[in-house]
Amino acid sequence: MRVLIYFSFFLVAAFTLPTPAQNADKDAAPATAKIEPKGPLLPAANSKISASDISVNAWRMASSGKLDTVWAQIKTLGDKNKNNNTIKQLVNDVIAHEAHLKSQRIKNKAEFDKKIKKLDTHIKKDKTRDALASAISAQGLAENVERFMKSKRITALVKSAETQAFGFQKQQKWLKAYALYRALDLLYENKHRYDDQLDHINHRISLLQMYTPKLLFEMYKQDAKERGEDEPEPWQNDKDHWKKRLDAVNIDLLKQSIRQGVRDHVEGSTYEKLLTGALQSVRRVFSTTGLEKAFPELADKAKVASMTKFIDAQLKAIKDRKEQMVFTEVEHVLERLLTANSVTVKLPEVAIIHALGNGSMSTLDDFSAIIWPHQMDRFRRTISGKFSGVGIQISLVNNQLTVVTPLEDTPAHRAGLQPGDRIVSIDGKGTVGIDLEQAVERITGEEGTEVELGIKGANTGKTHKVKLTRSSIRIVSVKGWERKKQGGWNYYIDPAMKLGYLRLTTFGPNTDDELAAAVQQMKEEGGLSGLIVDLRFNPGGRLDAAIHVTNRFINQGKIVSTTQRTLLGRPWAVEATKHTTFDDFPVVVLINKGSASASEILSGALKVHKRALVVGENSFGKGSVQNIFPINDGAAYLKLTTAYYKIPDDSIIHRRPGKKKWGIAPDVPVLVTERQVAQAVEARMILDIVRDPKKGKFDPNSVLSKRKPKKNNDEDEPRPRTIVKSASEILERGLDPQLQTGLLLLKARLLATKAQG
């Protein structure tokens, strides 16, 4: 059987930052020369310290938890090096950084006290959902998280929320139950305490979304009304759209998926396990109130009871088995199930098969799934890293489809589309109530075809039609410190010291070439002494891209390996080679909880080989290999986890159930609050926008949603905008402590050389 390899993209959209899981990768012998020489750690700051001492030892001290000592030692250089501009500037930068941190701690304490006050107010008013929101915010600001979580107010709140959530679940008030369980899950993130409840409720909501979207919309509308929030825009869904989606679904597709899943899943599985998940999924179809609007036979309680009884009998028989089930027995159960359905509730067979497939795969892991026929086109675009469209980044701003930025040298850019322009129609159809997925589907299409957009100008307020011819769009995955007015990127974060900054947003087919071009540009513009590689919020991407990029920094030794089953049926490992490796300049890598998959392969390899200093927070922990198996003659795919990645010290990246360690732990942890993350992301988004100076002054607020307090809810006040005019403001205002720490440590590493220059 032909098998395609797929290394999944993972999208992180949430900015809620829990306390990162503690992780500790094992030491391993480096494959390249260490950039940290051996020797004892430096004495305290009151000893005589030279710039050379700091250059040699600062990184090792920071990695040993002595970051404050590094800053103290740098400041001692100030008095005796008053005429050395390099040292003077670094000392001033450290002092400013410490002042920013001190100011932030004071703000955090004040904010923590405010959140606790609001938390107590919400508890007294029995507003559990708002109380949980305050608790989550307060947790991110608490100096001692463990003590905070064990406090009486939190334990009592959690117990009350669990009771209410369970009650809502029993009443089939899915949105209310989900909101509480999701908030509890955020409060106990990484603990997996509420996985089962959330999976169960998500399944119910997805059924309503598929078959009765109007009913689900009314539930959202009612929930918003009860909470005093603005009414959501109506959804634009075709009547019976599920029939079009499931048209090509059949029983052979399901059988092949179950057989392949048992045979090749990384953790191993059984037919009993997959069949149990499948039957439970179908059972939910018959017990979800509201689906009778799509399937009237479900209103017949006697028929539903008969079908439910049949399913329960099958589940009991599976549970009571003494011998392991074989595939022919699975086929027999499925056939009997479809027969029972045909003489009772008479649901469309495709709906039963769809539920069986999703339920069976959900028993394996979060990344294994059937790619159904209606999902194939979008999935192929995702794994290819290519698509045909017009070249705009879009967002919903105050429920209006908005251009965030055109991409350089694309149809949209050449047509003069501007940041903040509203897209009011697509091919003559209005966009009121459209979601982003629907908008992308309508705007993208076959190369060479046309799409007409109705554009309400950000500067003029006038509406006009723009016809654009779709073309192949290349996604640029390597970005720099600041856009140049004439186009392209300025990669220097510190031109005087020749320090570069590269932000990798994903790992695509051109990432390695883009990285090499950026480094070459800096060499030609004045040289490159050190580099910051920012992998924060990088969800991963292609494995080959991660390998090539890693090979740019290490010239020998292992890059990545796998645990067991792969394309060739055995573990494999990739070794570095010398022919593409950059010169040996110091490197700092930034990671956070949004760094996943290929990002973790790169940061893990550079950390183990001691080729870079890793700064930030523990990464996400997505280190599994998904193979793609064509099923039903290629009409669909089975995306199946068949192995785990290992970094060069043989640590498994993936966050597996029950494991306390996963992902990549930073050498230098720098924790940040939710608000700090939001500020840094917002500032960076504004700087990434492509602007045309001929089109007038750009208003950043045109691409940012309005912030206003919720009606009848004092939980969150509008947060001030984080709008910067230049990238340097991010450092000057202390908006990004992780970046600031990495940059200062990079400067410290080069202190002796630059101070003499």
Show the 3-state SS of 61-92: HHHCCCHHHHHHHHHHHHHHCCCCHHHHHHHH
Q: Is the pLDDT of residue 222 over 60?
A: yes
The reply to whether 413 and 489 lie within a common domain is: no
- Mean pLDDT, to the nearest integer, of 395-411? 80
> Given this model, what pLDDT does residue 214 score?
87
> Given this model, what pLDDT does residue 385 score?
58
Question: Is 339:314 a contact under the CB 8 Å cutoff?
Answer: no
Instruction: Note whether residue 314 is domain-resident.
Output: yes
User: pLDDT (tens digit, 9 = 90+) per residue, 123-133?
Assistant: 999 999 999 99
In this structure, what CATH number is given to the domain that contains residue 502? 3.90.226.10
Beta-bridge mates of residue 490: 482
Q: Is the pLDDT of residue 98 over 60?
A: yes
Share of the chain above pLDDT 70, in %: 86
Instruction: Note whether residue 78 is domain-resident.
Output: no
User: pLDDT (tens digit, 9 = 90+) per residue, 407-464?
Assistant: 777 888 888 887 788 898 999 888 877 777 788 888 988 889 999 999 988 767 788 8
How many domains does the structure of the chain reveal?
Answer: 4
The reply to whether 565 and 634 lie within a common domain is: yes
Residue 703 pLDDT level (bands cut at 50, 70, 90):
low
* C-alpha–C-alpha distance, residues 536 and 185, integer Å: 23
Give the residue from 173, 153, 177 showing the smallest Cα distance to 163.
177
User: pLDDT (tens digit, 9 = 90+) per residue, 15-61?
Assistant: 222 333 333 333 333 333 344 444 444 444 445 788 999 999 999 99
> Given this model, what pLDDT does residue 378 score?
76
Instruction: Note whether residue 380 is domain-resident.
Output: no
Instruction: Note whether residue 349 is domain-resident.
Output: yes
Which residues span the domain enclosing 461?
387-473
- Mean pLDDT, to the nearest integer, of 377-391? 76
- Mean pLDDT, to the nearest integer, of 731-756? 91
Instruction: Note whether residue 121 is domain-resident.
Output: yes
- Mean pLDDT, to the nearest integer, of 173-182? 94
Q: End of a domain among 405, 440, 473?
A: 473
Question: Is 148:139 a contact under the CB 8 Å cutoff?
Answer: yes
User: What does pTM read for this prediction?
Assistant: 0.83
- Mean pLDDT, to the nearest integer, of 377-394? 77
The reply to whether 487 and 469 lie within a common domain is: no
Instruction: Note whether residue 36 is domain-resident.
Output: no
Buried b (16+ CB within 10 A) or exposed e, 374-388: beeeebeebbebbbe
The reply to whether 609 and 691 lie within a common domain is: yes
The reply to whether 467 and 486 lie within a common domain is: no
- 398 compared with 403, residue with greater pLDDT: 403
The reply to whether 279 and 329 lie within a common domain is: yes
User: pLDDT (tens digit, 9 = 90+) per residue, 685-695?
Assistant: 778 777 666 66
Across the chain, mean pLDDT equals: 85
> Given this model, what pLDDT does residue 571 score?
73
Tokens of 691: 């602007």
Average the pLDDT over each of 258-262, 307-311, 389-393, 751-755 and give the range with the smallest value. 751-755
- Mean pLDDT, to the nearest integer, of 490-511? 94
Average the pLDDT over each of 243-257, 259-273, 427-441, 544-558 and give the range with the smallest value. 427-441
Residue 230 pLDDT level (bands cut at 50, 70, 90):
confident
State which amino acid sits at residue 574: V
- 395 compared with 532, residue with greater pLDDT: 532
User: pLDDT (tens digit, 9 = 90+) per residue, 3-15?
Assistant: 333 333 232 222 2
Contacts of 149 by beta carbon, 8 Å cutoff, 6+ apart: 139, 187
Instruction: Note whether residue 45 is domain-resident.
Output: no
Q: Is the pLDDT of residue 628 over 60?
A: yes
- 565 compared with 282, residue with greater pLDDT: 282
First to last CA, the chain: 62
Q: Is the pLDDT of residue 174 over 70?
A: yes
Question: Is 664:591 a contact under the CB 8 Å cutoff?
Answer: yes
- Mean pLDDT, to the nearest integer, of 542-559? 95
Give the residue from 499, 524, 521, 668 showing the smallest Cα distance to 585.
499
> Given this model, what pLDDT does residue 340 score?
96
Question: Is 577:3 a contact under the CB 8 Å cutoff?
Answer: no
Q: End of a domain among 473, 496, 516?
A: 473
**Beta strands per DSSP E along 445-537:** 450-456, 463-469, 471-473, 478-479, 482-483, 489-490, 492-494, 499-504, 530-534
The reply to whether 491 and 606 lie within a common domain is: yes
- Mean pLDDT, to the nearest integer, of 279-289? 95
In this structure, what CATH number is given to the domain that contains residue 406? 2.30.42.10
Contacts of 356 by beta carbon, 8 Å cutoff, 6+ apart: 254, 278, 279, 281, 282, 334, 337
The reply to whether 410 and 520 lie within a common domain is: no
State which amino acid sits at residue 697: K
The reply to whether 394 and 516 lie within a common domain is: no
Question: Is 537:12 a contact under the CB 8 Å cutoff?
Answer: yes
Instruction: Note whether residue 544 is domain-resident.
Output: yes
Share of the chain above pLDDT 90, in %: 59
The reply to whether 404 and 277 lie within a common domain is: no
Q: Is 59 helix (H, G, I), strand (E, B) or coil?
A: helix
The reply to whether 666 and 725 lie within a common domain is: yes
Q: End of a domain among 309, 331, 363?
A: 363
The reply to whether 543 and 617 lie within a common domain is: yes
